[in-house]
């Protein structure tokens, strides 16, 4: 059985994951309109992945005797000055999500809820991957600079991006 504190914290994370999905979706649409097909495909995939993260939390809350809440969401930013700025915002967002997950882990330990603590370890590893992927992409974008040919190749290659992290698995 979840404590009210844990249930509220998990419901907060459900909202964050849902908003993450919307952020990636907005980025996918922006990239698609700009003709960045590879970037848009990557972002659509990430949007779906974030929704899956949300659903995993929803199921966990409900299975542990809580009630998952589906709340209103903050509207994501839908325009960017450049695809570099878009990925900078993405990294900033993933760092915020990591901090939120870390706070949730801390709360689960304070509440001595070891089942939730164990469940959250997957999210801890996932955030290592998410941040590493965003940093790798930004490194590549910085390497490209203003080179249009480099952007073309990056847009094509991002579809195959795999990042091996210290957590030991591949980010998608």
Domain-wise residue ranges, the chain: 4-171
Give yes or no for a contact between 170 and 161, defined as CB atoms under 8 angstroms apart. Answer: no
Residue 85 annotated as binding site: no
What angle do helix axes 4-33 and 37-63 make, rounded to 10 degrees?
A: 160
pLDDT at position 162 is 57
50 carries a ligand binding annotation:
yes
Phi, psi (degrees; rounded to nearest 5) at 78: -115, -5
Confidence (pLDDT) at 171: 43
Query: What is the chain's length?
Result: 172
Q: What is the DSSP letter of 159?
A: G
pLDDT of residue 172: 40
Gap between the Cα atoms of 117 and 128, Å rounded: 17
Is 111 one of the annotated binding-site residues? no
10-residue block means of pLDDT along the chain (172 residues)? 97 98 97 94 95 98 97 94 94 97 98 98 96 93 87 85 55 42
Q: What's the pLDDT score for residue 151? A: 87
Q: Is 17 assigned a ligand-binding role in the annotation?
A: yes
Residue-level pLDDT at 167 = 55
- Residue 137: name the closest of 158, 119, 118 by CA: 158
Please count the other Cβ atoms lying within 10 Å of the Cβ belonging to residue 112: 9
| Beta-bridge mates of residue 170 | 164
53 is in an annotated binding site: yes
**Assigned CATH for 4-171:** 1.20.1260.10
What pLDDT was estimated at residue 130? 94
The pLDDT value given to residue 152: 86
């Amino acid at each position: 059985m979840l404590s009210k504190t844990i249930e509220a914290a998990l419901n907060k994370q459900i909202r964050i994951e849902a908003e993450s999905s919307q952020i990636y979706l907005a980025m996918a649409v922006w990239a698609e309109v700009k003709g960045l097909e590879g970037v848009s495909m990557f972002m659509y995939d990430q949007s779906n992945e974030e929704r899956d993260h949300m659903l995993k939390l929803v199921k966990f809350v409900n299975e542990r005797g809580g009630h998952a809440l589906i709340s209103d969401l903050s509207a994501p930013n839908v325009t960017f000055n450049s695809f570099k700025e878009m990925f900078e915002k993405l990294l900033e967002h993933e760092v915020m999500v990591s901090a939120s997950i870390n706070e949730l882990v801390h709360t689960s330990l304070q509440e001595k809820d070891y089942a939730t603590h164990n469940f959250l370890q997957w999210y801890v590893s996932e955030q290592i991957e998410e941040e590493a992927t965003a940093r790798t992409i930004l490194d590549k974008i910085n390497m490209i600079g203003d080179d249009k040919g480099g952007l073309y190749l990056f847009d094509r290659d991002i579809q195959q991006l795999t990042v091996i992290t210290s957590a030991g698995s591949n980010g998608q």
